[in-house]
Amino acid sequence: MDAKTGYVAGRLALTGVLFRISGKTAAVQFHTKKHLCETVFKSSQRWFCNASAPGPGMLHRWFCRTSTPGPSRWLSRTSTPGQLRWFCQTSTPGPHVCIVGSGPAGFYTAQHILKNHKTARVDIYEKLPVPFGLVRFGVAPDHPEVKNVINTFTNTAANDRCSFLGNVTVGRDVTVAELRQAYDAVIMSYGADADKEFGIPGENLPGVYSARSFVGWYNGLPEDKHLAPMLDTETAVVLGQGNVALDVARILLTPLSIIKKTDITDHAAAALENSQVKTVYIVGRRGPLQTAFTIKELREMTKLPDCRSVLDPADFAGLQDKVKSLQRPRKRLTELLIKTAQTGGATAQETQRLSQATKEWGLKFLRSPLEILPTEDGSRVSGIRLGMNKLEGSDSSARAISTGETEVLSCGLVLRSIGYKSVPIDDTVPFDSQKGVIPNTAGRVTGCKGLYCSGWVRRGPTGVILTTMTDGFETGKAVVDDLTTGILQPLDGVRGQERIQPLLQKKGIQAVTFEDWNKIDSEETTRGEKVGKPREKIIEVKEMLEVALS
């Protein structure tokens, strides 16, 4: 910043301060150009910030955001005094990168870009006011240690060159085309919003839910808060044998005294308190060697308090020998399954305790659902007709072939857990509907220069946070390589947030910053403290915005 600009900016800041103190509307006195916002400063801090402006080429630009958005903000008064928030952005030259989606994929990609490119600015857009995606809404409440990655993400967001813009739905509030005009690189990492369906009769009966919605319901995802699953039945069936299936089974069977102390939502805890579910069957169309869950989650099921594991030893006949030749992860998993089937997973002492258990869970193999049967009055599900299968081939490539036999399993609650599915965000972004992913090579979207993708929307919805980390870093590397080798043409004119914020203002959208999220975070933590939980999640978007923008 040269001496003159510094002087002018400093003088304006002082004027702004003095006018604020005097109670007049400062916006009227603000004669410089409109700008864009990033860091929130109190007015006194602004003065100091200008006074210590570092280096040449850095321009501090000030923008005032009042609580009434719209083109009249210049002359509008704030609805409550003292609501003026001053923002400053240092416009160091450097490419602008936009990431759509603030889950693990988005944050790991951002982390990689910020670490390996010294001037790139990264803006992360998110449709909800709260960040972190499935880490917040997908990880089970009784797995708080998995959520530790939030600390890494918070560090990334604290970087000067990183911004979070919540409450902005890409595809509706701002289109991908508009983003591509404003950013040198746009990265799609919005994950998978939908889930796979069987397409069998009865799938829409009351009492049949997708495991994804059930997880969203107990984790406080705003769109699933009205799910009200019917838990007034003794038997529940989960279709699918992945980690999500085990998660929902575990939540249905864990004693309330444990669940109550987690960050599970209030309404879910209340519903589980009145739940009559005693037995949960987890049904898969292939055999024990093709289960998709991992050993940690299986071990948790065998150790559930007041719950018996019911596995049929016949399912594991002949596997003892095969086990020796398996890879270590599959070997240990199968050994645990066999042991659980033989002894109920318990020592002799525990068998006594387990015989008094009031709940049980079991695995059923080689069964595919053919039809979901209604009660006589058709008001809810009464059972499932399952077709029996046999396996052709072996290991992970084995296929299930129908034998023609069927059986009926009675139940009052069905949870479908056969995988998530991504949806196309916008007509301009290519999408492979069959695979449910954006077609790409190493993260670069096929046929679209400057467009990238990472996470589940790139690879398909499988894997844990760790796999998404690798994926995010890979896409980040592709972006950094393209930025440094100059494949991407630099854009003219106003770039980045500056170009997007006016578009949002016109539609009356107020973006939520990371500081605003911190307010929501501390509000949730405070509410949780009162009831002995790590946090009490806010489940209404309106309420989130009220807290964030207060």
205 is an interface residue for another protein by CB under 8 A: no
List the one residue from 58, 59, 205, 295 that touches another protein (CB under 8 A): 295
List the one residue from 22, 79, 80, 151 that touches another protein (CB under 8 A): 151
List the one residue from 143, 267, 322, 519 that touches another protein (CB under 8 A): 143
CA distance 505 to 492: 22
Going across the sheet that includes 96-100, the strands are: 162-165, 121-125, 96-100, 185-188, 451-453, 444-445, 440-441
By beta-carbon proximity to another protein, the closer residue of 62 and 514 is: 514
Stretch that binds another protein, among 11-19, 249-257, 364-372, 457-465 (CB under 8 A): 457-465
CA distance 233 to 42: 56
360 annotated as belonging to a binding site for a ligand: no
116 is an interface residue for another protein by CB under 8 A: no
Bridge partners of 392, per DSSP, are: 399
394 is an interface residue for another protein by CB under 8 A: no
- Type of residue numbered 486: G
By beta-carbon proximity to another protein, the closer residue of 71 and 329 is: 329
304 annotated as belonging to a binding site for a ligand: no
Bridge partners of 432, per DSSP, are: 437
CA distance 377 to 379: 5
Bridge partners of 372, per DSSP, are: 384
By beta-carbon proximity to another protein, the closer residue of 44 and 470 is: 470
Encoded tokens for 216: 């969203």
List the one residue from 278, 299, 322, 477 that touches another protein (CB under 8 A): 299
By beta-carbon proximity to another protein, the closer residue of 157 and 188 is: 157
The residue among 236, 294, 542 whose CA lies nearest residue 410 is: 236
CA distance 272 to 134: 22
CB 373 within 8 Å of CB 342: no
Strands 185-188 and 451-453: parallel
517 annotated as belonging to a binding site for a ligand: no
Stretch that binds another protein, among 63-71, 76-84, 467-475, 485-493 (CB under 8 A): 467-475
CA distance 245 to 229: 16
Residue 458, Cβ neighbours under 10 Å: how many? 26
393 annotated as belonging to a binding site for a ligand: no
What's the distance, CA 45 to chain centroid?
Answer: 35
User: If you ran DSSP here, which 8-state letter would residue 224 be given?
Assistant: G
* Strand, coil or helix: 188: strand
347 is an interface residue for another protein by CB under 8 A: no
* Strand, coil or helix: 139: coil
405 is an interface residue for another protein by CB under 8 A: no
By beta-carbon proximity to another protein, the closer residue of 312 and 350 is: 350
Bridge partners of 364, per DSSP, are: 283
Stretch that binds another protein, among 372-380, 439-447, 477-485, 525-533 (CB under 8 A): 525-533
By beta-carbon proximity to another protein, the closer residue of 77 and 299 is: 299
List the one residue from 11, 24, 42, 296 that touches another protein (CB under 8 A): 296
8 annotated as belonging to a binding site for a ligand: no
467 is an interface residue for another protein by CB under 8 A: yes
* Residue set of the binding site for NADP(+): 241-244, 285-286, 297, 463
Binding site for another protein (CB under 8 A): 142-146, 148-149, 151-152, 154-155, 261-262, 294-296, 299, 327-329, 332-333, 396, 459, 462-467, 469-470, 473, 522, 525, 528-529, 534-535
* Residue set of the binding site for FAD: 105, 126, 134, 170, 456, 463-465
